[in-house]
């Protein structure tokens, strides 16, 4: 497939807000893809070269992309930067600049005439892959020149999406769920097989692999795709309950309880001497925790498994779990061993996903839990999560208070009945979470959608932030609250640096009646606390699910807790359904 044809599809996708139209538009183009290119097309369409767990990224900063564009167009770099400030979208600017560029422009460093080439998708992918793998001394300059050479060869429309792709802001509104539906339509002619594709994706975290398998082997083969070592499983998520009574009621009077630790969720894959750690995004974080690798090697009883747990920062002297902010400092690329000494960690294991060369996702919870003792032995550094089976609210309250006393956030309630399977990639009712905050002042993981500039000491920085939740049914972000409190000057400096490169026109994946001075790609997730949830005519959270169809929900007296939730992707942020559950329980009280 010509890359230009794919870009023409992207351009049409940008112009529509309707999900079904987007699916059909994308499916029409994907239908013409070959078996050898569909996997790469799928990844490119969600803005990636490889799945997250592979760890190969383009690593092109905006300033490098600006230099490449300046070289390709023969314009002064400062003029390109100034023009960007007015347009706010580097891809759109590249499109406009190349449409105006004289045909006589030469690229002296390549000794090539500026003529468009009809490049295939695989040609584009190969060049971008080459850029991503450049490293060592002088690699930045090589990346700039290679990208500039590519821009000079393609049409303005293609340059629009190449530039956006390399800076991580494709902006066509296609998330994994929409892409899976489009793949189903493209290959089978029906949306009905999306669930089959989603199951395979949840077990492999590799949408390129799912697409390639669908095209080369067919839908029946895809039904048998299952768990493999070193292909992380998309994590199971929990619903929220607001009381011990509700927790027990959800599970018919009997449930398992575990401490809810305030750490980094980790999926541990082992095969022989090879061990890899994956976050819930899922990214490969193996190199960031050399101490955890040693702990696993020492504690392992068998050679091959996938288990899940929580890495927490741990004060060895006080024998105490430390807050999330401490363990989050371990996610770094430099001085890793030194940081491991400064911030020791402990792992609390709570589930088994693969054992005896078989997936355990469809095995009931208590049976999975028992397998932990066959896989690893408990040590000072590796423990099984604190757990008990409860039959009464009194037992829940006692265990809940013990969790808080042990520096935990609350408890996880888990189904112990038949059918208590691991629902990969889903937020089902086999697991629920009950935190102290849900009974007092709610905490939420919310996505920064927009911002207004501050005043006074906040002048020149973003001072007020528009935050949203995620609607899983529509794959949209809905507004939930504005927040301006809880931020230090250091926080405001950090958010300005993080968010300014993400600024854009209002994203099509955001459902909002509110206007902002700045809109952002929905990437940054932060933790917010508040007093109560109220009905709102302004915010869109849960609109259409309340008594009045025009009502939404909003958070009163919101405050930033100081926690950036960098191990949670935005589509796993607090959902509108979770917020609605808390609101209805609050209303009942």
Burial of 239 (0-12, 13-18, 19+ CB in 10 A): middle
Q: DSSP 3-state assignment of 207?
A: helix
Q: How many beta carbons lie within 10 A of that of residue 62, not counting itself?
A: 18
Q: How many beta carbons lie within 10 A of that of residue 547, not counting itself?
A: 6
Q: DSSP 3-state assignment of 365?
A: helix
Q: DSSP 3-state assignment of 317?
A: coil
Query: Among this protein's residues, is 260 annotated catalytic?
Result: yes
How far, in Å, CA of 236 to CA of 232, rounded? 12
How far, in Å, CA of 388 to CA of 542, rounded? 35
Asked if 351 and 308 touch (Cβ cutoff 8 Å), the reply is: yes
How far, in Å, CA of 99 to CA of 91, rounded? 12
Residues facing residue 445 across a β-bridge: 527
Q: Which residues contact 393 (CB under 8 A, 6 or more apart)?
A: 244, 245, 248
Asked if 60 and 189 touch (Cβ cutoff 8 Å), the reply is: no
Asked if 258 and 412 touch (Cβ cutoff 8 Å), the reply is: yes
Asked if 575 and 447 touch (Cβ cutoff 8 Å), the reply is: no
Closest-CA residue to 311 (of 328, 294, 332)? 328
Strands (E), 462-564: 462-471, 476-483, 503-504, 510-511, 518-520, 525-529, 532-536, 552-556, 559-564
Torsion of CA 119, 122, 124, 127, to 10 degrees: -120
Of 153, 260, 281, 414, the catalytic one is 260
Q: Write the DSSP symbol of residue 146.
A: H
Q: Which residues contact 122 (CB under 8 A, 6 or more apart)?
A: 36, 37, 40
Asked if 474 and 545 touch (Cβ cutoff 8 Å), the reply is: no
How far, in Å, CA of 518 to CA of 586, rounded? 33
Tokens at residue 22, please?
Answer: 């987007």
Catalytic residues: 260
């Amino acid at each position: 497939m010509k890359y230009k044809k794919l870009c023409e599809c992207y351009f049409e996708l940008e112009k529509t807000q309707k999900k079904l139209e987007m699916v059909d538009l994308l499916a029409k183009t994907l239908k013409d893809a070959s078996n050898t290119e569909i996997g790469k097309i799928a990844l490119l369409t969600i803005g990636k070269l490889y799945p997250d767990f592979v760890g190969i990224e383009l690593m092109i900063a905006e300033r490098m992309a600006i230099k490449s564009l300046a070289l390709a167009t023969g314009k002064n770099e400062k003029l390109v930067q100034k023009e960007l400030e007015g347009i706010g979208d580097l891809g759109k600017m590249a499109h406009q600049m190349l449409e105006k560029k004289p045909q006589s422009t030469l690229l002296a460093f390549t000794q090539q005439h500026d003529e468009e080439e009809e490049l295939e998708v695989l040609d584009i992918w190969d060049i971008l892959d080459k850029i991503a793998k450049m490293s060592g001394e002088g690699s930045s300059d090589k990346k700039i020149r290679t990208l500039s050479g590519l821009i000079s060869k393609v049409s303005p429309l293609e340059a629009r999406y190449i530039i956006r792709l390399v800076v991580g802001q494709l902006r066509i509104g296609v998330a994994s769920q929409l892409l899976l539906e489009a793949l189903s339509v493209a290959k089978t002619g029906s949306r009905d097989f999306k669930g089959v594709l989603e199951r395979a994706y949840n077990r492999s975290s590799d949408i390129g692999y799912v697409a390639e398998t669908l095209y080369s082997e067919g839908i029946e083969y895809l039904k048998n795709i299952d768990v493999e070592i070193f292909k992380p499983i998309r994590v199971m998520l929990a619903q929220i309950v607001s009381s011990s009574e509700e927790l027990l009621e959800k599970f018919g009077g009997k449930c398992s309880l575990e401490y809810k630790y305030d750490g980094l969720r980790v999926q541990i894959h082992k095969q022989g001497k090879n061990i890899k750690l994956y976050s819930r995004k899922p990214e490969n974080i193996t190199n960031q925790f050399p101490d955890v690798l040693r702990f696993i090697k020492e504690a392992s009883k068998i050679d091959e498994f996938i288990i899940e747990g929580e890495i927490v920062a741990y004060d060895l002297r006080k024998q105490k779990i430390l807050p999330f902010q401490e363990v989050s400092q371990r996610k770094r690329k430099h001085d890793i061993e030194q940081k491991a000494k400064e911030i020791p960690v402990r792992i609390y294991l709570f589930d088994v996903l693969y054992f005896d060369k078989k997936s355990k996702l469809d095995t009931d919870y208590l049976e999975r839990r028992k397998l932990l003792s066959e896989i690893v032995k408990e040590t000072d550094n590796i423990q099984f999560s604190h757990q008990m089976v409860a039959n009464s609210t009194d037992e829940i309250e006692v265990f809940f208070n013990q969790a808080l006393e042990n520096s935990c956030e609350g408890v996880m309630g888990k189904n112990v009945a038949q059918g208590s399977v691991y629902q990969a990639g889903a937020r089902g009712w086999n697991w629920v979470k009950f935190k102290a905050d849900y009974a007092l002042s709610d905490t939420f993981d919310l996505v920064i959608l927009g911002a207004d500039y501050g005043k006074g000491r906040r002048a020149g920085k973003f001072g007020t932030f528009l935050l949203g939740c995620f609607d899983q049914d529509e794959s949209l972000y809905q507004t939930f609250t504005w927040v301006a409190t809880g931020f230090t000057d250091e926080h405001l400096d950090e958010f300005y640096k993080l968010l300014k490169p993400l600024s854009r026109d209002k994203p099509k994946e955001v459902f909002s009646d509110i206007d902002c001075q700045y809109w952002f790609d929905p990437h940054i997730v932060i933790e917010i606390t508040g007093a109560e949830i109220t009905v709102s005519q302004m915010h869109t959270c849960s609109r259409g699910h309340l008594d009045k169809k025009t009502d939404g929900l909003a958070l009163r007296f919101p405050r930033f807790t100081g926690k950036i939730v960098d191990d949670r992707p935005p589509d796993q942020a607090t959902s509108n359904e979770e917020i609605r559950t808390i609101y209805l329980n609050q209303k009942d009280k």
